[in-house]
Amino acid sequence: MNDAAEQLPDDLASALAALAAERARRITAEAEAATAKAEAASAKALVSHSEALIARLKLEIEKVRRELYGSRSERKARLLEQMELQLEELEADAGEDELAAEIAANASTVRAFERKRPSRKPFPEHLPRERVVIAAPTNCSCCGSAKLSKLGEDITETLEVIPRQWKVIQTVREKFSCRECEKITQPPAPFHVTPRGFAGPNLLAMILFEKFAQHQPLNRQSERYAREGIDLSLSTLADQVGACAAALKPIHSLIEAHVLAAERLHGDDTTVPILAKGKTDTGRIWTYVRDDRPFGGLSPPAALFYASRDRRQEHPERHLRTFTGILQADAYGGYNPLYKADRDPAPLTQALCWAHARRKFFVLADLATNAKRGSKAAPISPVALEAVKRIDALFDFEREINGLAAQQRLEHRRRESQPLLEELHDWLQTERTKLSRSSPVAEAIEYMLKRWDGFTSFLDDGRVCLTNNAAERALRGFALGRKSWLFAGSDRGADRAAFMATLIMTAKLNDIDPQAWLADVLARIADTPVSRLEQLLPWHWTSAQAPKALAS
């Protein structure tokens, strides 16, 4: 028999006492372990909260810097996107760790960690409120008395969403017969966008907005509707889209005429795959944006889109055959025939984009990207870095005069910007002589010096902007959307996408809800005379119809 067995008590009372002592030691050890676990969880939650707080503060600082010192699209946009993604993950980690700390604390005496969250904004006043009253106690929890009087109430608001509701509207047309002539009288049938149509304007607007603004192909929409108990096949949805495009052509024509009547246009294009036999062709979406607000113009902004299967110069020539004015664009050679002196009706004024020129230098002086590449990073070009700084000085001044009248902008530019440009030109020429022809910096310098008249046209006309960012922003939806819908199914499909983008982007430029506007236009366009169709344009709809839409 071993020593442990010899130490066991002989009588029952001693055995029970030893068992109780052992149980007490085990409970104490478990409590200490639970306390240590809760403290560790609380400490982990504190660390997670601190990391999320630091990330949030960094993000806010970068946003403030961007507002104060202007956008640096190649650098700041990428940095902000990365910081927002990092903040999202850290906030999720902090929430998970806080809940784990609370669960651990419930099993011990350690106080749970409570994360300090940023103050939450109150819910919008226009949202409906549903009042849920918890049954009040009938007796005092202390003495049991039933003599209770109300002192007040505490209200906790919780934001909730109601799943989308579908309904069928039955439009009843009563028939009457005349007792004198026995003729039958009945009101006319309601208007539908499609012949024998069944879809209401709000449903049609939702389908169009989901497809052309949210980049949700019709097959995905059909699947989502089926999960909600509504059978709308792909062919049915496609039929509705085609009919809506036909019904909205008068509105598109008015927007097209408005854009091409501008004094100055922003022009640009981007790639879009178009289905061909056994392959996809790299087609193009072209945009022309009218936005007179930078030089104090009162005309409403609008965007016009076209599609083509290639990038031949005949396309911009056809698009702008009636336009005479300033074309703000990049140095794409397809625009060159538009600037010729013998062009009919008149040559366009070329205005090149300083953002394109700056980008060529910025790529060679991107400190943030090189830092990520580590030992594989290319050396930073001091010439490119200096060029970026000099160009940024022009942008800094340009922000100060944004929105002034054209003549005022021109006066300020000739006083402040022209000396900077002359210094930049001399400096570029001097640095060019020091570089070899194969140098990337030399290529960027040559790009500017060969087109110097186009870059300096803003010194001759106050309506010209320094950049073509308005057109690039208009094309951003296609750049994002083509990853979702992969390609356009045909030339007509690409044309239809450009057609709808014209309507949706114009609505956005005028700060109205594209889906609400499309629904209202589809409901009213059949009953609106041609002479009054302009009332349905986005900028007129903003002032005349938005209050009614909100009231309803």
| The pLDDT of residue 146 | 86
CA separation for the pair 498, 502 (Å, rounded)? 6
Burial class for 298, CB neighbours closer than 10 Å (0-12, 13-18, 19+): exposed
| The pLDDT of residue 57 | 60
CA distances to 194, 199, 482 from 522, in Å: 11, 11, 27
User: Last residue of some domain: 78, 106, 134?
Assistant: 106
Burial class for 458, CB neighbours closer than 10 Å (0-12, 13-18, 19+): buried
Range among 40-44, 64-68, 164-168 with highest mean pLDDT value: 164-168
How do residues 63-87 score in pLDDT, each as one tens digit? 655 555 555 454 555 555 555 555 5
Confidence grade of residue 56 (pLDDT, cut at 50, 70, 90): low
Residue 202, in any domain of the structure: yes
Q: Which of 536, 532, 471, 529 is nearest to 505 (CA)?
A: 471
Confidence grade of residue 90 (pLDDT, cut at 50, 70, 90): low
Q: Which of 503, 508, 494, 537 is nearest to 286 (CA)?
A: 494
CA separation for the pair 247, 49 (Å, rounded)? 54
Average predicted confidence (pLDDT) for the chain: 82
Burial 192-208 (b: 16+ CB within 10 A, else e): bbbeeeebbbebbbbbb
Q: Has residue 111 got a pLDDT over 60?
A: no
CA separation for the pair 391, 102 (Å, rounded)? 54
Percent of the chain with pLDDT over 70: 74
Residue 258, in any domain of the structure: no
Strands 349-352 and 176-177: unpaired
Q: Has residue 44 got a pLDDT over 90?
A: no
Q: Has residue 107 got a pLDDT over 70?
A: no
User: Last residue of some domain: 106, 140, 163?
Assistant: 106
| The pLDDT of residue 281 | 84
How do residues 24-34 score in pLDDT, each as one tens digit? 777 777 766 66
- The per-residue DSSP string of 157-185 comes to -----PPP-----------EE-TTT--EE
- If one counts the domains in the chain, the total is 2
Structural domain for 72, as ranges: 25-106
| The pLDDT of residue 1 | 45
Confidence grade of residue 164 (pLDDT, cut at 50, 70, 90): confident
**Tokens of residue 485, six digits:** 């819908």
CA separation for the pair 424, 397 (Å, rounded)? 15
Residue 114, in any domain of the structure: no
How do residues 188-215 score in pLDDT, each as one tens digit? 877 777 766 788 899 999 999 999 999 8
| The pLDDT of residue 550 | 40
How do residues 420-457 score in pLDDT, each as one tens digit? 999 999 999 999 998 888 888 999 999 999 999 999 99
- Rounded to 5°, angle at Cα 351 from 387 and 503: 115
168-195: average pLDDT: 85
| The pLDDT of residue 419 | 94
pTM, whole model, 2 decimals?
A: 0.74
CA separation for the pair 29, 26 (Å, rounded)? 5
CA separation for the pair 198, 287 (Å, rounded)? 34
| The pLDDT of residue 25 | 75
Percent of the chain with pLDDT over 90: 44
**Lowest-pLDDT range, 1-5, 176-180, 244-248, 346-350?**
1-5
| The pLDDT of residue 62 | 62
Residue 100, in any domain of the structure: yes
Residue 77, in any domain of the structure: yes
Other CB atoms closer than 10 Å to residue 55's CB: what's the count? Answer: 20
| The pLDDT of residue 24 | 75
| The pLDDT of residue 280 | 77
- Rounded to 5°, angle at Cα 210 from 209 and 211: 90
**Tokens of residue 20, six digits:** 């109780």
How do residues 276-318 score in pLDDT, each as one tens digit? 777 778 889 999 999 999 998 999 999 999 999 999 999 999 9
Phi-psi sector, 150: left (phi>0), alpha (psi -120 to 50), beta: beta
- The per-residue DSSP string of 298-330 comes to -SPPEEEEEEESS--THHHHHHTTT--SEEEE-
CA separation for the pair 385, 365 (Å, rounded)? 5
| The pLDDT of residue 380 | 72
Say if residues 463 and 403 touch (Cβ distance below 8 Å): no
Residue 340, in any domain of the structure: no
Residue 207, in any domain of the structure: yes
| The pLDDT of residue 376 | 57
Strand partners, 270: 285
Cis peptide before 345 (omega within 30 of 0): yes
- The per-residue DSSP string of 73-126 comes to IIIIIHHHHHHHHHHHHHHHHHHHHHHHHHHHHHTSSSPPP---PPPPPPPPTT
Q: Has residue 341 got a pLDDT over 70?
A: yes
Q: Which residue bears the tokens 């060969």? A: 450
Strands 264-276 and 326-329: parallel
Residue 170, in any domain of the structure: no
Pick the more confident residue, 409 or 41.
409
3-state secondary structure (DSSP) of residue 287: strand
Torsion of CA 205, 211, 216, 218, to 10 degrees: 90
| The pLDDT of residue 239 | 86
User: Last residue of some domain: 82, 106, 130?
Assistant: 106
